[in-house]
Structure formats: C-alpha cells, structure tokens
Structure 1
C-alpha cells in the first residue's frame, strides 16, 4: 500500500504519515538527548565486543603487536557497522540502546526498515561522526525538519519514540472467530507483504485515535485491499473494520491472541 508523507514542524517533534485515504498517523520524533543516550549504550557494547576480539587477536599475534593494533581498528569499525546493521534489520529498527530508550528507526512512510535502509544509514556514520561526537550528524538533525542526520536523509529513515500500544481486547472478538481456525485463511494472511502487515496492525492499534469519518474511510479502503490481497470475499455480516481486525488477529502471535480473548468463567 503506497503512502505519502508530510512532516510537521521541528517544534512539534512529530512526523505525520498521510495515507491515500487522507488518514493521518503521527509518530513522535526522538530527541537528540535520547538518541545520544541510546548511542552511548550501543557504543559500550560495541567497545566490549571489539576489546574481547582484540584481546584474542593479541594473544595469537604477540609477535606482531603493531599489526594487531591496526587490525583492531578495522575490527572495531566492522563490529560497529555489523552490530547496528544486523540488529536494526532483524529487530525492526532497534538496537539494544534504542530498545533501552524506547526508540525505533522507521522509514519515512511509517513502515519498518529493511537491510537496505539499515545499511545505508549506518554506513554513513563516519561522516556523521565528524569531527568528533557526531557533530556533523547533530547539526544536520537540528537543521532538519524531521531531525534526521545525514545517514537518515540518505536512507529515508527516521528515529521515533515508541508508544506502548496495548492490543485491544476487541482484536479477534469479531463475531467470526471460526475463520481464525481456518488454515487456508491463516495461510493467506501470513502471505501478506511486510508493508501490508504493518498497515493492518497500525490501523488496528491506532483506530481509536482517528475521527469517525477518517476511520470509516480508512477501513473501507483497507477492507477492499485485503479482499484483493487475500483473494477471498469478506463475510457479508462483517463490517470493513471487523474484517480488518480479523486479519490483524490472524497476524498476532498465539500468546497475544490468547490475551485478547476474555477468560472463560470456571464452572463447578
């Protein structure tokens, strides 16, 4: 699903994603202080890993300490890049430091990043670090309306503050839970693209934030799109919103599905 983006002013500290249905989703931009603290945590981890590797190399190459020192510098940069790129790719835009500070890297379109975006933003770090302590990157973020350092501008990414959104109890309680037990339906849902999954889950979690008109418009378009993507008709008794919530419920891990279902009262 294609989206266009619009960005609020720096003072607002938000990034707005405007869907084709003219429904807005707002993301809170991460400030420089929280990003610095996240980087500090990651830097300590990278330094510890690099030091451990370098100590092992020094033991093996005691006869050539100069070469070992030069190799240690190369190893540090490889670990630094590899750590950030790998974690941001497999951990949906987070590193350990970002998780501690409740931050996440996303695309400007509001969906999660992939390897391409993680690689681009992190390979640009040497430039952002110039001349020391990310001075270039900090100035770039202050000058940018979306608080992006050069690497983020290159990759088309943003660092946002995560909001802890609870899975609504209504998710899965759509009046047609039997469809969730249909292996064919679940298999088709699992084949949705990562972008389609992001849109469905975001709409399900943030629907209460939308005005009714925008909410109806969003789920009408989303419901029609899901019928095409799943190659199946929406059950006639389900509204577009309930249909989308049913798909979202099928995307949830089993534990979250169990939490969204009210416990049954024990009988004697």
Structure 2
C-alpha cells in the first residue's frame, strides 16, 4: 500500500493552464518580433489548424513546448505549473520518471488532445483510485501532491 496523495483533475488542469500561460507569454511576443507586428490578427490563426504544421516557426515552437514537458518532468518530475501547485510526476516507486517515461507520457498527451480520448482521460482521472490518465498508465507514472 503506497502513501501517495494523488492529484485530481482540477489541480492537474490548473497546472497545465499555468504552463500554457507561461509558454504563451514567451512565444506570442517572440512570433510577433520574428514574423512582424500583426501581419494577421491573432483571431485569424485560431480558426486555421493548417498554419500549425505549415509554418516552420510554429513547428519549432511546438517542438520546444513538447520538450519543455518531457525534460522538466523527466529530470525534475514537475513543470513550473506543477511546482506552483505542489504537484509532481513520479514513478510508482516514487522516483523521478526519467526521460523515457516522460517522453511516453507526453506522447500520449497528444492522443489525449483528441476529443474521444480526452473524455476517456477525464473519466480515468476522476474514477481510478490513482487518478491516472492513459499516458500515466502506459508510462507507469502518477501525478501526486508533494510537500514543499
């Protein structure tokens, strides 16, 4: 029997939101500097998915964002958002996940972004005793609360 206090859906979502805001605060001004000031309005991009994969700068940013989660969770078990909320990704034996588990966990986060799978992820987090989404189950990780 382990003694983890598993993180619920709300705190995990807030941590992801904090990370998203942090990354947006860095990347949005950067794209404006590199690509010119408001060539298109930001709202124009919201409705075009194709620009994400056709724009080399966006592809670089997506790779950096993905690496942010893999590297920070792999080495430290937490991103800035998780640290701020007192959460940590751990292996079942409480160790840091390492890069391979963090990579696997975050590859499956991409699958979780698909509507049917995001519903499954939410149900798993709410209903499973260890509050694990698909990426956690496959990678052998869990998100827990830690004392700072």
Q: TM-score if structure 2 supplies the norm length?
A: 0.77
What is the CA deviation profile of residues 123-171 of structure 1, one whole-angstrom value per residue up to 9, with x for unaligned ones?
1111112229x4342123224331111111111000000024xxxxxxx
CA distance in 1 between partners of 2:30 and 2:124 (Å): 33
- Structure 1 residue corresponding to 2:8, chosen from 31, 49, 54: 31
Structure number with the bigger relative contact order (C-alpha 8 A, sep ≥ 6) is 2
Aligned length: 134
- Structure 1 residue corresponding to 2:90, chosen from 80, 99, 106: 106
Q: What's the counterpart of residue 119 of structure 2?
A: 135
2:74–2:96: 8 Å Cα contact kept in structure 1? no
- The runs of 5 or more residues in structure 1 that have no matched partner are 1-5, 7-15, 17-25, 165-268
For residues 1-268 of structure 1, what are the structure 2 equivalents within 5 Å?
6=1, 16=2, 26-59=3-36, 70-90=55-75, 92-131=76-115, 134-164=118-148
CA distance in 2 between partners of 1:94 and 1:125 (Å): 15
CA distance in 1 between partners of 2:64 and 2:78 (Å): 16
Q: What's the counterpart of residue 223 of structure 1?
A: none
Distance 1:137 1:56, change over 3 A: farther
Taking only aligned residues, the RMSD between alpha carbons, in angstroms, comes to 2.5
1:107–1:156: 8 Å Cα contact kept in structure 2? yes
What is the CA deviation profile of residues 51-81 of structure 1, one whole-angstrom value per residue up to 9, with x for unaligned ones?
234224414xx8xxx9797334423421221
Moved over 6 A (4+): 66-69
What is the CA deviation profile of residues 26-46 of structure 1, one whole-angstrom value per residue up to 9, with x for unaligned ones?
111011111111111001112
- The runs of 5 or more residues in structure 2 that have no matched partner are 40-49
